[in-house]
Chains A and B, each alone.
Chain A
Amino acid sequence: DAKTTQPPSMDCAEGRAANLPCNHSTISGNEYVYWYRQIHSQGPQYIIHGLKNNETNEMASLIITEDRKSSTLILPHATLRDTAVYYCIVRTYNTDKLIFGTGTRLQVFP
């Protein structure tokens, strides 16, 4: 699985968009980009995933660059409850494994 690089921490004002970047420059054509988040001492929560195209669901949007070497998770209107560690994971299409890194700690402030 390709390695990902994320900033260790970010801040965001409540009500503003939170844009969380992820670099995955060694990603290959059959690898998906997954995002999970983990609120303190809880189990990770699935957010969104994509292969090539941008994706949107009720939680967030995922923007993948055309060369697929990086992506951005967008929380359009961050709330205090979005404070969590966000994990960007690259996952080979035929594997069930999730390899977690250290993620980005997002702090949403009032």
Chain B
Amino acid sequence: ETGVTQTPRHLVMGMTNKKSLKCEQHLGHNAMYWYKQSAKKPLELMFVYNFKEQTENNSVPSRFSPECPNSSHLFLHLHTLQPEDSALYLCASQQASGGARSEQFFGPGTRLTVL
């Protein structure tokens, strides 16, 4: 248990569906992250939020839409996904002012399958 929870843990959706992934951190951190891990590939950073503001978008397609209503919650809204978007989606949090001195804590991930 890392203090970062993600729901749902597994999700199967069609290409025309709209769904959302939820992440919550109970660590008092003020930075949150979305990562994507496709099969047999390294983790790829998708989005970064610091103090609820998006500070990084790594050229992620617009069918992925993040939302950070407060420092404890992060959402990833999904619509009209493609089968190649099937992956493990991981959320992480960190104390933003810590820089490289602070570790990131990861949630267990959501295993997404797009049919």
A residues whose Cβ falls under 8 Å from a Cβ of B: 31-32, 34, 41-46, 49, 91-103
- Interface-forming stretch among B12-20, B40-48, B66-74? B40-48
B residues whose Cβ falls under 8 Å from a Cβ of A: 2, 4, 31, 33, 42-43, 45, 48, 50, 56, 88, 90, 92, 94, 96, 98-101, 103-109, 111
Contact (Cβ within 8 A) B100 A46: no
Chain A interface SS verdict (over half): loop
Question: Counting chain B CB atoms within 10 Å of each CB, which of A46, A93, A96 scores highest?
Answer: A96
Contact (Cβ within 8 A) B103 A46: yes
**In the bound complex, CA of A26 to CA of B106 (Å):** 27
B96 to chain A, nearest CB (A): 6
The 8 closest A-B pairs by CB, nearest first: A43-B106, A100-B43, A91-B100, A46-B103, A100-B42, A32-B100, A93-B100, A44-B106
**In the bound complex, CA of A91 to CA of B103 (Å):** 11
A54 to chain B, nearest CB (A): 17
Contact (Cβ within 8 A) A31 B103: no
Contact (Cβ within 8 A) B106 A94: no
Contact pick for B104, options A32, A93, A94, A98, CB 8 Å: A98
**In the bound complex, CA of A95 to CA of B4 (Å):** 21
Contact (Cβ within 8 A) B43 A94: no
**In the bound complex, CA of A43 to CA of B33 (Å):** 13
**In the bound complex, CA of A42 to CA of B42 (Å):** 13
By a CB distance below 8 angstroms, the chain A residues around B107 are: 43
| Nearest-neighbor residue (CB-CB) of A47 within chain B | B103
By a CB distance below 8 angstroms, the chain B residues around A101 are: 42
